[in-house]
Amino acid sequence: MNTTRRGLKRKTLSLQAPAKVNLFLEILGRRPEGYHEVRTVLHAVAWRDRLHFRVRRSGIVLEGDGAELGRRNLIWKAARALQRKLKRSPGIEVRIEKRIPSAAGLGGGSSDAAATLRAMTRLHGIEEDPHWLAEVAASVGSDVPFFLEGGTALCTGRGQRVVPVVPGRPLDFVLVVPEAGLDTPAVYRAFKPSLTRRTKDATPFLRTWAEGEVRKLGRALFNRLEEPAFELAPELGQLKRRIAAMKPLGTLLSGSGSAFFALCADRSRALELADRLRRSGLRARAVRSERPGPSRG
Ligand code: C5P
Protein backbone atom coordinates (compact mmCIF):
# COMPACT_ATOMS: atom_id res chain seq x y z
CA MET A 1 0.00 0.00 0.00
CA ASN A 2 1.45 3.32 -1.04
CA THR A 3 -0.24 6.11 0.87
CA THR A 4 1.16 8.85 -1.36
CA ARG A 5 -0.24 9.92 -4.72
CA ARG A 6 1.80 9.33 -7.81
CA GLY A 7 4.21 12.14 -8.55
CA LEU A 8 3.71 13.52 -5.06
CA LYS A 9 5.94 11.06 -3.27
CA ARG A 10 6.96 12.11 0.21
CA LYS A 11 10.59 12.45 1.14
CA THR A 12 10.09 12.27 4.90
CA LEU A 13 7.81 10.49 7.33
CA SER A 14 7.62 10.33 11.13
CA LEU A 15 6.16 7.31 12.91
CA GLN A 16 5.65 6.35 16.51
CA ALA A 17 6.62 2.84 17.56
CA PRO A 18 4.79 1.54 20.66
CA ALA A 19 6.04 -0.89 23.29
CA LYS A 20 4.28 -4.19 24.08
CA VAL A 21 3.64 -6.38 27.06
CA ASN A 22 3.03 -10.14 27.00
CA LEU A 23 -0.21 -10.63 28.94
CA PHE A 24 0.16 -14.39 28.56
CA LEU A 25 3.15 -16.51 27.52
CA GLU A 26 3.34 -20.29 27.46
CA ILE A 27 6.17 -22.38 26.02
CA LEU A 28 5.07 -25.46 24.13
CA GLY A 29 8.46 -26.94 23.32
CA ARG A 30 11.72 -26.54 21.52
CA ARG A 31 11.83 -26.14 17.76
CA PRO A 32 14.36 -27.97 15.57
CA GLU A 33 16.26 -24.73 14.81
CA GLY A 34 16.69 -24.05 18.55
CA TYR A 35 13.94 -21.49 19.03
CA HIS A 36 10.99 -22.22 21.29
CA GLU A 37 7.42 -22.80 20.24
CA VAL A 38 5.33 -20.23 22.11
CA ARG A 39 1.73 -19.22 22.64
CA THR A 40 1.64 -15.60 23.67
CA VAL A 41 -0.80 -12.70 23.86
CA LEU A 42 0.99 -9.53 22.81
CA HIS A 43 -0.59 -6.20 23.63
CA ALA A 44 0.70 -2.80 22.47
CA VAL A 45 0.95 -0.11 25.13
CA ALA A 46 1.28 3.65 24.82
CA TRP A 47 4.98 4.16 25.47
CA ARG A 48 6.53 5.05 22.15
CA ASP A 49 9.80 5.58 20.35
CA ARG A 50 9.65 8.28 17.69
CA LEU A 51 11.29 7.65 14.37
CA HIS A 52 11.91 10.25 11.68
CA PHE A 53 12.61 8.81 8.24
CA ARG A 54 14.13 10.52 5.23
CA VAL A 55 14.58 9.01 1.78
CA ARG A 56 18.11 8.42 0.51
CA ARG A 57 19.11 7.12 -2.87
CA SER A 58 20.95 4.23 -1.21
CA GLY A 59 22.50 3.12 2.07
CA ILE A 60 21.26 3.06 5.66
CA VAL A 61 22.06 5.88 8.07
CA LEU A 62 21.01 5.86 11.73
CA GLU A 63 21.31 8.77 14.11
CA GLY A 64 19.83 9.74 17.44
CA ASP A 65 20.14 9.45 21.17
CA GLY A 66 19.87 6.49 23.51
CA ALA A 67 20.10 3.80 20.83
CA GLU A 68 22.91 1.68 19.50
CA LEU A 69 23.46 3.03 15.98
CA GLY A 70 25.34 0.16 14.38
CA ARG A 71 24.39 -2.93 12.44
CA ARG A 72 23.07 -4.66 15.55
CA ASN A 73 20.18 -2.21 15.74
CA LEU A 74 16.98 -3.88 14.49
CA ILE A 75 16.19 -0.76 12.43
CA TRP A 76 19.35 -1.38 10.45
CA LYS A 77 18.56 -5.10 10.16
CA ALA A 78 15.01 -4.37 8.98
CA ALA A 79 16.18 -1.89 6.33
CA ARG A 80 18.83 -4.37 5.15
CA ALA A 81 16.36 -7.27 5.07
CA LEU A 82 13.99 -5.22 2.92
CA GLN A 83 16.77 -4.22 0.52
CA ARG A 84 17.79 -7.87 0.18
CA LYS A 85 14.24 -9.00 -0.46
CA LEU A 86 13.78 -6.34 -3.17
CA LYS A 87 17.17 -7.10 -4.71
CA ARG A 88 17.72 -3.35 -4.95
CA SER A 89 18.82 -0.80 -2.39
CA PRO A 90 16.28 1.89 -1.55
CA GLY A 91 18.13 4.01 1.00
CA ILE A 92 16.88 5.37 4.28
CA GLU A 93 18.01 7.75 6.97
CA VAL A 94 16.47 7.35 10.41
CA ARG A 95 16.64 9.73 13.34
CA ILE A 96 15.72 7.80 16.46
CA GLU A 97 14.18 9.32 19.55
CA LYS A 98 14.56 6.31 21.82
CA ARG A 99 12.17 6.23 24.77
CA ILE A 100 11.41 2.53 25.33
CA PRO A 101 14.10 0.89 27.47
CA SER A 102 16.16 -1.86 25.79
CA ALA A 103 16.59 -5.44 27.05
CA ALA A 104 13.39 -5.01 29.05
CA GLY A 105 10.99 -7.37 27.23
CA LEU A 106 8.99 -4.37 26.00
CA GLY A 107 9.69 -4.97 22.30
CA GLY A 108 11.07 -1.49 21.55
CA GLY A 109 13.67 -2.71 19.04
CA SER A 110 11.13 -4.95 17.27
CA SER A 111 8.61 -2.12 17.10
CA ASP A 112 11.23 0.21 15.62
CA ALA A 113 12.03 -2.46 13.02
CA ALA A 114 8.36 -2.83 12.01
CA ALA A 115 7.96 0.96 11.74
CA THR A 116 11.04 1.04 9.51
CA LEU A 117 9.54 -1.55 7.14
CA ARG A 118 6.29 0.46 6.97
CA ALA A 119 8.12 3.74 6.42
CA MET A 120 10.38 2.36 3.69
CA THR A 121 7.51 0.81 1.74
CA ARG A 122 5.61 4.11 1.89
CA LEU A 123 8.49 6.42 1.12
CA HIS A 124 9.78 4.33 -1.77
CA GLY A 125 6.32 3.52 -3.15
CA ILE A 126 6.80 -0.22 -2.69
CA GLU A 127 3.66 -2.28 -3.16
CA GLU A 128 2.93 -3.74 0.29
CA ASP A 129 1.99 -7.37 0.03
CA PRO A 130 1.13 -8.25 3.65
CA HIS A 131 2.52 -11.77 3.28
CA TRP A 132 5.94 -10.92 2.04
CA LEU A 133 6.24 -7.96 4.39
CA ALA A 134 5.41 -10.27 7.32
CA GLU A 135 8.07 -12.67 6.05
CA VAL A 136 10.69 -9.92 5.94
CA ALA A 137 9.58 -8.84 9.43
CA ALA A 138 9.92 -12.41 10.78
CA SER A 139 13.46 -12.65 9.38
CA VAL A 140 14.39 -9.63 11.52
CA GLY A 141 12.96 -10.96 14.81
CA SER A 142 10.14 -13.08 16.24
CA ASP A 143 8.11 -10.10 17.56
CA VAL A 144 8.51 -7.86 14.51
CA PRO A 145 5.47 -9.18 12.52
CA PHE A 146 3.18 -8.37 15.47
CA PHE A 147 4.22 -4.71 15.36
CA LEU A 148 3.27 -4.34 11.68
CA GLU A 149 -0.32 -4.07 12.93
CA GLY A 150 0.10 -3.67 16.70
CA GLY A 151 -3.03 -3.81 18.85
CA THR A 152 -3.55 -7.21 20.45
CA ALA A 153 -2.72 -10.59 18.96
CA LEU A 154 -2.32 -14.25 19.81
CA CYS A 155 1.12 -15.14 18.49
CA THR A 156 2.38 -18.69 17.93
CA GLY A 157 5.24 -20.49 16.23
CA ARG A 158 8.34 -18.70 17.50
CA GLY A 159 6.01 -15.69 17.96
CA GLN A 160 5.96 -14.68 14.30
CA ARG A 161 2.56 -16.23 13.47
CA VAL A 162 0.14 -13.45 14.34
CA VAL A 163 -3.62 -13.75 14.76
CA PRO A 164 -5.25 -10.44 15.73
CA VAL A 165 -7.51 -10.65 18.75
CA VAL A 166 -10.43 -8.34 19.49
CA PRO A 167 -9.33 -7.03 22.87
CA GLY A 168 -11.50 -6.52 25.91
CA ARG A 169 -11.66 -3.06 27.47
CA PRO A 170 -8.48 -0.93 27.34
CA LEU A 171 -6.22 -1.61 30.30
CA ASP A 172 -4.20 0.53 32.68
CA PHE A 173 -0.73 -0.58 33.67
CA VAL A 174 2.34 0.53 35.50
CA LEU A 175 5.59 -0.51 33.86
CA VAL A 176 8.51 -1.06 36.23
CA VAL A 177 11.93 -1.09 34.59
CA PRO A 178 14.94 -2.34 36.59
CA GLU A 179 18.39 -0.86 35.99
CA ALA A 180 19.77 -4.08 34.53
CA GLY A 181 18.29 -5.64 31.42
CA LEU A 182 18.06 -9.35 30.63
CA ASP A 183 19.43 -11.23 27.64
CA THR A 184 16.56 -12.97 25.81
CA PRO A 185 18.57 -16.01 24.57
CA ALA A 186 19.94 -16.58 28.10
CA VAL A 187 16.42 -16.59 29.58
CA TYR A 188 15.15 -19.07 26.97
CA ARG A 189 18.23 -21.25 27.56
CA ALA A 190 17.50 -21.33 31.30
CA PHE A 191 13.95 -22.59 30.68
CA LYS A 192 13.57 -26.22 31.80
CA PRO A 193 10.90 -28.21 29.98
CA SER A 194 8.83 -30.63 32.00
CA LEU A 195 7.34 -33.80 30.58
CA THR A 196 4.59 -33.99 33.17
CA ARG A 197 3.39 -30.40 33.17
CA ARG A 198 0.32 -29.56 31.11
CA THR A 199 0.70 -26.48 28.96
CA LYS A 200 -1.71 -23.63 29.50
CA ASP A 201 -4.20 -22.48 26.91
CA ALA A 202 -4.71 -18.73 26.33
CA THR A 203 -8.48 -19.06 25.73
CA PRO A 204 -9.61 -18.72 29.38
CA PHE A 205 -7.43 -15.62 29.70
CA LEU A 206 -8.94 -14.04 26.58
CA ARG A 207 -12.47 -14.97 27.70
CA THR A 208 -11.96 -13.32 31.09
CA TRP A 209 -10.78 -10.15 29.34
CA ALA A 210 -13.72 -10.19 26.90
CA GLU A 211 -16.09 -10.52 29.85
CA GLY A 212 -14.57 -7.34 31.28
CA GLU A 213 -13.54 -8.99 34.54
CA VAL A 214 -10.39 -6.96 35.09
CA ARG A 215 -9.95 -8.15 38.66
CA LYS A 216 -10.01 -11.79 37.51
CA LEU A 217 -7.73 -10.85 34.61
CA GLY A 218 -5.09 -9.76 37.11
CA ARG A 219 -5.00 -13.30 38.46
CA ALA A 220 -4.98 -14.85 34.97
CA LEU A 221 -1.80 -13.08 33.78
CA PHE A 222 0.81 -15.73 33.06
CA ASN A 223 4.39 -15.95 31.85
CA ARG A 224 6.30 -19.26 31.72
CA LEU A 225 9.58 -17.32 31.38
CA GLU A 226 9.34 -15.87 34.88
CA GLU A 227 10.85 -18.95 36.49
CA PRO A 228 14.02 -19.06 34.33
CA ALA A 229 14.36 -15.26 34.51
CA PHE A 230 14.17 -15.32 38.32
CA GLU A 231 16.69 -18.13 38.38
CA LEU A 232 19.12 -16.01 36.34
CA ALA A 233 18.41 -12.84 38.30
CA PRO A 234 16.97 -13.64 41.77
CA GLU A 235 16.57 -9.92 42.50
CA LEU A 236 13.74 -9.93 39.96
CA GLY A 237 11.75 -12.37 42.09
CA GLN A 238 12.19 -9.98 45.02
CA LEU A 239 11.14 -7.06 42.85
CA LYS A 240 7.94 -8.87 41.84
CA ARG A 241 7.09 -9.41 45.52
CA ARG A 242 7.77 -5.74 46.22
CA ILE A 243 5.39 -4.63 43.46
CA ALA A 244 2.75 -7.22 44.48
CA ALA A 245 2.87 -5.89 48.07
CA MET A 246 1.46 -2.60 46.72
CA LYS A 247 -1.64 -4.55 45.67
CA PRO A 248 -2.13 -4.04 41.93
CA LEU A 249 -4.66 -6.45 40.34
CA GLY A 250 -1.72 -8.52 39.14
CA THR A 251 1.92 -8.17 38.19
CA LEU A 252 4.00 -10.06 35.64
CA LEU A 253 7.36 -10.06 33.93
CA SER A 254 6.97 -8.92 30.31
CA GLY A 255 8.35 -11.46 27.83
CA SER A 256 11.90 -12.38 28.79
CA GLY A 257 12.18 -9.31 31.07
CA SER A 258 13.58 -7.51 32.84
CA ALA A 259 10.57 -5.12 33.00
CA PHE A 260 7.40 -5.90 34.94
CA PHE A 261 3.95 -4.58 34.34
CA ALA A 262 1.32 -4.18 37.04
CA LEU A 263 -2.34 -4.21 36.03
CA CYS A 264 -4.51 -1.55 37.70
CA ALA A 265 -8.29 -1.06 37.89
CA ASP A 266 -8.17 2.39 36.27
CA ARG A 267 -5.95 5.29 35.26
CA SER A 268 -5.98 7.07 38.61
CA ARG A 269 -4.92 3.91 40.45
CA ALA A 270 -2.13 3.40 37.89
CA LEU A 271 -0.87 6.97 38.39
CA GLU A 272 -0.98 6.52 42.15
CA LEU A 273 0.89 3.19 42.03
CA ALA A 274 3.53 4.60 39.64
CA ASP A 275 4.06 7.45 42.07
CA ARG A 276 4.49 5.11 45.05
CA LEU A 277 6.91 2.90 43.13
CA ARG A 278 8.97 5.93 42.07
CA ARG A 279 9.07 7.16 45.66
CA SER A 280 10.47 3.77 46.65
CA GLY A 281 13.32 4.34 44.20
CA LEU A 282 12.12 2.41 41.17
CA ARG A 283 11.74 3.50 37.56
CA ALA A 284 7.99 3.32 36.99
CA ARG A 285 5.55 4.72 34.46
CA ALA A 286 1.76 4.54 34.11
CA VAL A 287 0.69 3.52 30.59
CA ARG A 288 -2.58 2.62 28.88
CA SER A 289 -3.33 0.19 26.08
CA GLU A 290 -2.23 1.59 22.72
CA ARG A 291 -4.93 2.10 20.12
CA PRO A 292 -4.47 -0.38 17.26
CA GLY A 293 -2.68 0.37 14.01
CA PRO A 294 0.57 2.16 13.22
CA SER A 295 0.55 5.81 14.22
CA ARG A 296 2.04 8.92 12.65
CA GLY A 297 4.68 10.64 14.74
O1 C5P B 1 13.59 -13.78 17.32
P2 C5P B 1 14.49 -12.99 18.18
O3 C5P B 1 15.73 -12.54 17.46
O4 C5P B 1 13.81 -11.87 18.88
O5 C5P B 1 14.96 -13.97 19.32
C6 C5P B 1 16.06 -13.70 20.15
C7 C5P B 1 16.51 -14.99 20.80
O8 C5P B 1 15.54 -15.41 21.77
C9 C5P B 1 16.68 -16.14 19.87
O10 C5P B 1 17.97 -16.18 19.33
C11 C5P B 1 16.44 -17.33 20.78
O12 C5P B 1 17.60 -17.63 21.53
C13 C5P B 1 15.39 -16.82 21.75
N14 C5P B 1 14.02 -17.17 21.34
C15 C5P B 1 13.57 -18.47 21.47
N16 C5P B 1 12.29 -18.78 21.10
C17 C5P B 1 11.46 -17.83 20.65
C18 C5P B 1 11.88 -16.50 20.52
C19 C5P B 1 13.19 -16.20 20.88
O20 C5P B 1 14.32 -19.36 21.89
N21 C5P B 1 10.21 -18.16 20.33
CA nearest 49: which of 99, 118, 121?
Answer: 99
Q: Does 260 score more than 70 pLDDT?
A: yes
Nearest to 174 by CA among 247, 256, 97: 247
Q: How far does residue 135's CA lie from ligand 1's centre (Å)?
A: 16
Q: Strands (DSSP E) along the chain, which ranges? A: 12-30, 36-56, 60-65, 91-97, 152-156, 161-164, 172-176, 222-223, 250-253, 260-264, 284-288, 295-296
At 297 the pLDDT is 65
* Range with lowest mean pLDDT among 178-187, 195-204, 232-241: 195-204
Sorting pLDDT into bands at 50, 70 and 90, what band is 162?
A: very high
Residue 13: which of 294, 245, 265 has the closest Cα?
Answer: 294
Check: CB of residue 150 under 8 Å from CB of residue 143.
no
Task: Compute, in angstroms, the gap from residue 24 CA to the centroid of ligand 1.
Answer: 17
Q: Which atom of ligand 1 is nearest to the CA of 140?
A: 3
Through-space distance between the first and last CA atoms of the chain, rounded to whole angstroms: 19
- Specify the DSSP element, H or E, that contains 122: helix 108-123
pLDDT higher than threshold 60 for residue 45: yes
Q: Could you list the active site residues?
A: 20, 143
Ligand 1 centroid – CA 40 distance (Å): 13
Q: Residue range 41-45: average pLDDT?
A: 98
Pocket of ligand 1 (CB under 6 A): 35-36, 38, 141-143, 158-159, 184-185, 188
Q: 108-123 and 74-86 are packed helices; what angle lies between their axes, rounded to 10 degrees? A: 40
Q: Which atom of ligand 1 is nearest to the CA of 142?
A: 1
C-alpha 48/C-alpha 51 separation (Å) is: 9
Contacts of 54 (CB under 8 A, 6+ apart): 11, 12, 92, 93, 94, 95
> 7-13: which pairs have CB atoms within 8 A and are 24 or more residues apart?
9/123, 9/125, 10/55, 10/122, 10/123, 11/54, 11/55, 11/123, 12/52, 12/53, 12/54, 12/55, 12/123, 13/52, 13/53, 13/119, 13/122, 13/123, 13/296
Confidence (pLDDT) at 296? 64
Strand partners, 148: none
* Ligand 1, atom 4, residue with closest C-alpha: 141
User: Distance between CA atoms of 273 and 240, rounded to whole angstroms?
Assistant: 14
How far apart (Å, rounded) are the C-alpha atoms in residues 127 and 14? 19
pLDDT at 292 over 80: no
Position 79 pLDDT exceeds 80 = yes
* Tens digit of each residue's pLDDT (9 = 90 or more) over 89-129: 899 999 999 999 999 999 999 999 999 999 999 999 988 78
Whether residue 7 has pLDDT greater than 70: no
> Cβ atoms within 10 A of the Cβ of 5, count?
8
Q: How would DSSP label each residue in 211-269?
A: TT-HHHHHHH-EETTHHHHHHH-HHHHHHHHHHHTT--SEEEE-TTSS-EEEEESSHHH
Dist. CA 271 → ligand 1 center (Å): 33
Q: Which of 163, 179, 213 is nearest to 101 (CA)?
A: 179
Q: Confirm whether pTM is higher than 0.85.
A: yes
- Check whether 293 has a pLDDT greater than 80: no
Assess whether pLDDT exceeds 80 at residue 142: yes
Helix (H) or strand (E) holding 110: helix 108-123
